[in-house]
């Protein structure tokens, strides 16, 4: 998906012009994958742009940094304010937001002890990651040949740049095979998540999402839709899932900040009813909530 430049990117405390937001080729994180990042969306609302669950995303960024023992040079409040400033500078009603913290230029080698941490925040227009028709048309899933790394190899609880080599390999494999997205299993054969989304199944009215210990990232959109489904009268459980649970599901859907709510129409060429009734209802509710249309969730919509 090509980038559409916006006027400024926030870097280490200042807004700099988009084309001047550059790093040195010997930036440490470029070589070793030791950065942490977030994906956030701002949506048009009746009162201007609203950044959905911004504070929660920045809190997760800090948790990711803590797991990597990365000392953040800015407080969470400072990063929330910087994100609002950056979104406001775009002049857009809605955009995708990418904060990233990384070890900068100065030293090489595997040790990160004592290295300088840089932080940047960029925003740009970006449509739904799996397509604007992913709710109605659905997406084709493939069980990946690549396994999700476990908690003693690469910490899946941290949204770390290096972790996404695993996701990228799975995504490209799926696309090259004619699918839209990949499902990653852990070493025990249990479903962890997709390459960039949490996954839910619906079977006999039971809604299940894989537990975090299976290798899934603690998704903020996952938490959001679990809350929405509960308020809609549906119970969601965290439970182990295997590939056959996907093959026989009544419906299935993916959620993530980039993908929003996307229906699944097949897994390994086994068709799934699409769009399912629960998926459709949830997607409509989610789209309304993130745009400030439901007073019960307005606290999640933060103004620049």
> pLDDT tens for residues 212-231?
999 999 999 999 999 999 99
Given 124, 153, 184, the domain boundary residue is 124
For the chain, what is the mean pLDDT?
Answer: 96
pLDDT value, residue 128:
82
Positions annotated as catalytic residues are 159
Tokens of 8: 């400024």
**Which pLDDT value is given to residue 281?**
97
Q: How confident is the model at residue 1 (pLDDT cuts 50, 70, 90)?
A: low
115 and 181 share a domain? no
pTM of the model: 0.96
Residues 161 and 280 in one domain: yes
Q: How many CA atoms lie within 13 A of 46 on its CB side?
A: 7
Express as a percent the part of the chain with pLDDT over 90.
Answer: 95
Same domain, 203 and 274: yes
pLDDT at 17 over 90: yes
Do residues 113 and 157 share a domain?
A: no
If one counts every other C-beta atom within 10 angstroms of the C-beta of residue 158, the result is 21
Summarised one tens digit per residue, pLDDT across range 245-257 is: 999 999 999 999 9
Q: What is the CATH number of the domain that holds 206?
A: 3.20.10.10
For the chain, where are the E strands, in sequence order? 8-11, 14-17, 36-37, 40-45, 48-52, 95-103, 117-124, 139-147, 181-185, 191-194, 198-203, 206-209, 236-238, 251-256, 260-267, 270-271, 301-302
How many domains, the chain? 2
CB 156, CB 215: distance < 8 Å: yes
Q: Give the range of the structural domain holding residue 264, as residue numbers without chain letter.
A: 139-290
On the question of pLDDT at 263 being above 80, the answer is yes
Longest dimension (CA), the chain: 57
Rounded CA separation 158/118 (Å): 18
111-170 per-position pLDDT tens digit: 999 999 999 999 999 988 888 888 999 999 999 999 999 899 999 999 999 999 999 999
Using the 3D structure, point to which of 71, 100, 124 is the last residue of a domain.
124
Query: Do 110 and 152 have their domain in common?
Result: no
Q: Domain check: are 176 and 267 in the same one?
A: yes
Alpha helix positions (H), the chain: 28-32, 54-67, 76-90, 164-176, 220-231, 243-247, 277-290
């Amino acid at each position: 998906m090509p980038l559409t430049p916006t006027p400024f990117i926030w870097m280490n405390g200042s807004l700099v012009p988009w084309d001047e937001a550059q790093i040195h080729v010997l930036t440490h994180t470029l070589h070793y994958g030791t950065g942490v990042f977030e994906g956030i969306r701002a949506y048009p609302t009746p009162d201007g742009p609203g950044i959905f669950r911004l504070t929660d995303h920045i809190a997760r960024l800090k948790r990711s940094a803590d797991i990597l023992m990365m000392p953040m040079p800015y407080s969470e409040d400072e990063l929330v304010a910087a994100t609002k400033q950056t979104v406001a500078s775009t002049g857009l009603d809605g955009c995708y937001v990418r904060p990233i913290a990384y070890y900068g230029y100065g030293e090489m080698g595997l040790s990160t002890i004592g290295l300088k941490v840089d932080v940047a925040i960029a925003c740009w227009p970006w449509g739904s990651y799996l397509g604007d028709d992913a709710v109605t048309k659905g997406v084709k899933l493939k069980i990946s040949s690549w396994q999700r790394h476990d908690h003693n190899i690469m910490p899946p609880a941290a949204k770390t740049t290096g972790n996404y080599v695993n996701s990228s390999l799975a995504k490209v494999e799926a696309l090259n095979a004619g699918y839209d997205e990949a499902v990653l299993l852990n070493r025990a054969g249990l479903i962890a998540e997709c390459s960039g989304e949490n996954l839910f199944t619906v079977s006999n009215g039971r809604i299940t999402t894989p537990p975090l210990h299976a290798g899934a990232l603690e998704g903020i959109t996952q938490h959001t839709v679990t809350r929405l489904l509960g308020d809609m009268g549906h119970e969601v459980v965290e439970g182990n899932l295997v590939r056959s649970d996907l093959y026989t599901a009544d419906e299935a859907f993916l959620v993530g900040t980039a993908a929003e709510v996307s229906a699944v129409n097949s897994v390994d060429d086994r068709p799934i009813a699409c769009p399912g009734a629960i998926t459709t209802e949830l997607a409509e509710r989610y789209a309304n909530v993130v745009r400030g249309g439901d007073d019960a969730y307005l606290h999640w919509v933060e103004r620049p």
